[in-house]
Amino acid sequence: MKTAFLLATALLLAPMAARAADDHAPLRFVLIPKTVHPWFDKVNTGAQAAADLLGKTTGRKVEIEYRAPETADVSSQNDIIERAIATHPDGLILDLLDEKGNHATMLEAVDEKVPMTVFDSLPPEGMDITAVGADFCEQGTIAAQRLAGLIGEKGEVAIMIGVPTAPNHTRRAECERATFAKYPQIKVVATGIDNDSIETAQKQASAIMQAHPDLAGWVACDAAGPVGIGQAIRESGRTGKVREVGLDNLNDMIQLIRDGVADSSASSRPEMQGYWAVIAAWQRALGQKTPKYIDTGIDVLTRKNI
């Protein structure tokens, strides 16, 4: 019901263009995330829901092609984007791995008149593209402030960075550092890089906790990082001694909270990001103007509300 209401609102805000009335062919959007990852599966779920509702409401089918790079590699992502452009879709929906590294490929899309929408990311400066997602700084700040409270505003902490070139991951890290800097007795002693891999995050977290036996807590900058951190905490037998505040709502993250390994998580609502990214792409395909930014908000997940 809620989704139907949101769709109805979007329809009212975007009256049909003449093109839509004359063309009954399906609209086709290509959704390209950073990599194969359960967080992006949730984005795709929201995108498919929006496509289904648009099709039922307007009578014109909307198709979502989901094409994920096997690894978080900008060259691989650019290759997928270029191959998608060659098929002349009605729109590209992208989560950028590297604003600069993706720029030339995105200019190819502009040259081919393929509209773009980005989610959980920011478009290159100067490009007229709608961005859909949560406030990255707010999300990182929520996590860091919550951890500061859990450890009594003192002690050694560590940050797990996802993909170092990804603007959302780096922005969260910046704001987490800025938050910890407000507490004179909190010291950031280590940072790990997991490249959006749970396995890598677990290895990084284990190594950092061995190197820093007095570590009091963790925050992360991506969805894979906190799952790997939680697994490392549990395996080391330091549950309750090393505190963790995660990001996002992967099933493994929620289970870590239920098990008491992690305290909580600041979730950026991936399903909603996929949903509204499709709505924005659909509006662009119909020739409508779209907002510069759609903020999908943040949920704080705890044992009381999951």
Q: Which of 163 and 186 is assigned the larger pLDDT?
A: 186
Asked if 112 contacts 88 with a C-beta cutoff of 8 angstroms, the reply is yes
Q: Report the pLDDT averaged over residues 72-98.
A: 95
What is the model's pLDDT at position 121? 87
Instruction: Give the separation between CA 8 and CA 57, rounded to whole angstroms.
Output: 9
Instruction: Give the separation between CA 90 and CA 238, rounded to whole angstroms.
Output: 51
What is the model's pLDDT at position 241? 96
What is the model's pLDDT at position 109? 97
Nearest of 216, 190, 194, 191 to residue 203 by alpha carbon: 194
pLDDT of residue 36 exceeding 80: yes
Instruction: Give the separation between CA 218 and CA 126, rounded to whole angstroms.
Output: 36
Instruction: Give the separation between CA 160 and CA 142, rounded to whole angstroms.
Output: 15
Q: Both tokens of residue 142? A: 């929520």
Please state which of the ranges 6-15, 64-73, 271-280 shows the lowest mean pLDDT. Answer: 6-15
* Per-residue b or e along 49-78, where b marks 16 or more CB atoms closer than 10 Å to that residue's CB: bbbbbbeeebebebebebebbeebbbeebb
What is the model's pLDDT at position 15? 41
Q: Which residues, other chains included, contact 247 with Cβ-Cβ below 8 Å and sequence gap of 6+?
A: 139, 143, 172, 219, 220, 221, 222, 223, 225, 226, 253, 265, 266, 267, 268
Instruction: Give the separation between CA 279 and CA 202, rounded to whole angstroms.
Output: 36
Instruction: Give the separation between CA 67 and CA 19, rounded to whole angstroms.
Output: 27
What is the model's pLDDT at position 194? 94
The pLDDT > 90 percentage for the chain reads: 85
Q: Report the pLDDT averaged over residues 71-95.
A: 96
Q: Which residues pair with 217 in a beta bridge?
A: 157, 243
Q: Which residues pair with 110 in a beta bridge?
A: none
Q: Which pLDDT tens digit goes with each residue over 135-150?
A: 999 999 999 999 999 9
Asked if 115 contacts 92 with a C-beta cutoff of 8 angstroms, the reply is yes
Q: Report the pLDDT averaged over residues 194-199.
A: 92
Asked if 218 contacts 156 with a C-beta cutoff of 8 angstroms, the reply is no
pLDDT of residue 11 exceeding 80: no
Q: Which pLDDT tens digit goes with each residue over 232-261?
A: 999 999 999 999 999 999 999 999 999 999
pTM higher than the cut 0.85: no
pLDDT interval class at 20 (50, 70, 90): very low
Please state which of the ranges 106-110, 122-126, 263-267, 270-274 shows the lowest mean pLDDT. Answer: 122-126
What is the model's pLDDT at position 99? 84
The pLDDT > 70 percentage for the chain reads: 92
Query: For the chain, which domains are there?
Result: 27-134+270-297 (3.40.50.2300), 136-267 (3.40.50.2300)
pLDDT interval class at 288 (50, 70, 90): very high
Helical residues (DSSP H) of 103-159, grouped into ranges: 103-111, 136-150
Q: Which residues pair with 161 in a beta bridge?
A: 193
What is the model's pLDDT at position 72? 85
Q: Which amino acid is at 234?
A: R
Provide the 3-class DSSP secondary structure of residue 58.
helix
